[in-house]
């Protein structure tokens, strides 16, 4: 079979415009990009292995029983291992060209967040066992949105009590709440987050709860189900959580996590 040849009459013509790199990806988006980069390198490595073993009839030779199937399995596994151990570095180059970050560093940070056990003595500074007095008026307001909260919890697989606790902490269940930082509605969405989540009307309780819960679910996935880190990310941004390798040393964020956790422990 004749090999394909690429004909390029003018190499520079193919690169008239520089590739635009998105300035900021969410942590969830970066995880997807990391996986896609590694998958691409794995596929490319598989193709290289096939080409290298073509003259010998594959990894297991020409006359072995079930060789075609076993070859594919072995080649795939070997390619995955090569990609994971960074032998080629293609995944790293792709990831860095898109995010301007090192793939290995990003993976290490995620691993640290996944396995990190928060020091009990450090945590005790801002999480105590004393219950907060639940505001009856706030609870009454919150009850109006029960149906929206149930729908959001089911759609994004987030605990209803966690959503309620965030709403009580963020806005005291006031749909028209607006902070000094211009965060709006029940789950206090800032404009950039609302735009990222595709919110059309941030003041609509249903849309606000759906968007806030979606963002919360992304943070929970980013930090592998660690509620405290997800809450810290909701308040201070996931980048700060990664930077400080845990709940950031910000008094506001520490108090925020404390309040949400206490609501979570006391809601029926």
Q: What are the catalytic residues?
A: 170
Give per-residue burial for 89-108: e unless 16+ CB within 10 Å, then b: ebbbebbbebbebebeebbe
Contact between 86 and 104 (Cβ < 8 Å): yes
Element (H, E) at 109: helix 103-115
Query: Taking the CB of residue 5, how many other CB atoms lie within 10 A of it?
Result: 5
Contact between 151 and 143 (Cβ < 8 Å): no
Nearest CA to 75 out of 107, 50, 39 is that of 50
| Residue carrying structure tokens 């900021």 | 24
């Amino acid at each position: 079979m004749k090999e394909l040849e690429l004909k390029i009459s003018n190499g520079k013509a193919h690169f008239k415009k520089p590739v635009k790199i998105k300035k900021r990806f969410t942590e969830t988006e970066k995880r997807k990009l990391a996986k896609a980069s590694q998958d691409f390198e794995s596929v490319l490595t598989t193709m290289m292995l096939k080409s290298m073993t073509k003259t010998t009839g594959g990894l297991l030779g020409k006359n072995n029983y079930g060789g075609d199937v076993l070859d594919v399995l072995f080649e795939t596994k070997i390619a995955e291992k090569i990609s994971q151990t960074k032998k080629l570095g293609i995944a790293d180059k792709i990831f860095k060209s898109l995010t301007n970050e090192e793939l290995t560093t990003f993976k290490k940070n995620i691993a640290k967040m996944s396995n990190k056990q928060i020091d009990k003595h450090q945590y005790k500074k801002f999480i105590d066992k004393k219950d907060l007095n639940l505001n009856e008026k706030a609870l009454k307001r919150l009850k109006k949105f029960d149906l929206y909260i149930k729908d959001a919890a089911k759609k994004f697989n987030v605990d209803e009590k966690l959503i309620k606790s965030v709403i009580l902490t963020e806005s005291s269940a006031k749909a028209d709440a607006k902070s000094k930082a211009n965060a709006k509605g029940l789950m206090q969405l800032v404009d950039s987050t609302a735009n990222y989540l595709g919110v059309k009307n941030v003041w609509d309780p249903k849309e606000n709860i759906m968007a806030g819960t979606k963002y919360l679910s992304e943070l929970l996935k980013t930090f592998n189900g660690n509620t405290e880190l997800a809450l810290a990310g909701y308040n201070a941004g996931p980048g700060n959580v990664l930077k400080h390798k845990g709940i950031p040393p910000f008094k506001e964020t520490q108090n925020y996590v404390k309040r949400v956790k206490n609501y979570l422990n006391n809601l029926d």
